[in-house]
Chain A
């Protein structure tokens, strides 16, 4: 099976694409996935990558840090080439976030290209990858629409811009798009599986959102009292200090035992803005952080035990996890987990799997 990964730190997008093409020489990839720091001009990097692989579906996005087998990087381009012994079929399209009907049009069109209707796509045979503008605040609506129409798993991440929070980009076949998502449906030839991992324990404290502005991801009240007060009480700290606990104590929806993490972003008077939409009346549990490296190692070992050696891995790793790893000086340890696995990934502004979430790594793996 041919899955190869490579990287370039050459700051010139055309030279970086040449480095990548040289590394992939001799391959005839069906798909090339690339994640590029926002230091690369979006139009040029997308054009350069497509020029090097004209026969492949070439897609990617801007990042807030990159990941390749063994290393976490900054200001680089990482790429993965997948040949026809890995991918039986592939179809990709752009979703215009400003157009409410664009997701359904894209899904119907992509399924048609694969000879199917959206709902008939077999979850055991097909998987979707989504890369979405990380500043659009539209991940929930796009993922919900996709989830309405298909039963297959769709996994991915929100594009980044090296923490500038100004503009993020998604790329498809030589063009760069903002306020958009790239949806790619793949029929792998090999077995595939997914990992969704987050490093938290439950504190057994419930916060029920009782007054929210869902569209702006703002919670005014939990448990019928001001959000900041309720959150401070739940984690046992002074209200004035709560912001410094946001990274280590996010909240989560629980689907059975499976958490869907929602990270607090900032305080506005006594309200809290989140990086994810919060639904009124749906209970959230307060979390306490555990060790990312340990938990990721366990997730990788568990899936290897189930499926055998991993032949390729795409990691959509939350920027907040990357910042925590930075703070704990564990970037090298985290990168080392993927040392012997052909891996690319990036630090995201949000992760996608069934819905939108934070402080999570979602991964697509080929076996």
Chain B
């Protein structure tokens, strides 16, 4: 399977920033500082269970319910 990481990241950013470009950028930076480099993942990236779990935990910490 591929692409789940990208989808999760996009969904997390969308849920947090609601289309506000400044908040999108800040959220990407917050993810980077937590160890998730959003620029590294595309829809063809292999699904890495460790990274997926990490993003889900970040979403939980941010009180975001992911829709992916």
Contacts and interface: CB of A to CB of B under 8 A. Distances in A.
Contacts of A355: 29-30, 33
B23 A279 contact: no
A258 interface: yes
B26 interface: yes
Main secondary structure of the interface of A (DSSP, over half): mixed
B66 to A, nearest CB: 15
Nearest to B51: A281
Contacts, number: 48
A351 to B, nearest CB: 13
Interface in B1-33: 16, 22-23, 25-26, 28-30, 32-33
B49 to A, nearest CB: 14
A340 to B, nearest CB: 30
Interface in A333-359: 354-355
B26 A151 contact: yes
A148 B61 contact: yes
Interface size class of A (residues with CB under 8 A): 20 to 34
Contacts of A256: 25
Interface string B25-51: 110111011111100000000000000
Contacts of A123: 22-23
Nearest to B64: A148
A147 interface: yes
Interface size class of B (residues with CB under 8 A): 10 to 19
B35 A260 contact: no
B68 interface: no
Contacts of B34: 144, 279
Contact of A354 (B26, B35, B63): B26
A279 B40 CA distance: 14
A354 B62 CA distance: 14
A126 to B, nearest CB: 14
B23 A151 contact: yes
Contacts of A164: none
A255 B35 contact: no
Interface of B: 16, 22-23, 25-26, 28-30, 32-37, 61-63
Given A280-B35, A281-B35, A282-B37, 20 more contacts: A140-B33, A144-B30, A144-B33, A144-B34, A145-B61, A147-B33, A148-B61, A148-B62, A151-B16, A151-B26, A253-B33, A255-B25, A258-B29, A279-B33, A279-B34, A279-B35, A282-B35, A282-B36, A354-B33, A355-B33
Closest 7 CB pairs of A and B: A279-B35, A355-B33, A255-B29, A148-B62, A148-B61, A147-B30, A354-B29
6 contacts: A123-B23, A151-B23, A260-B32, A260-B33, A279-B34, A354-B29
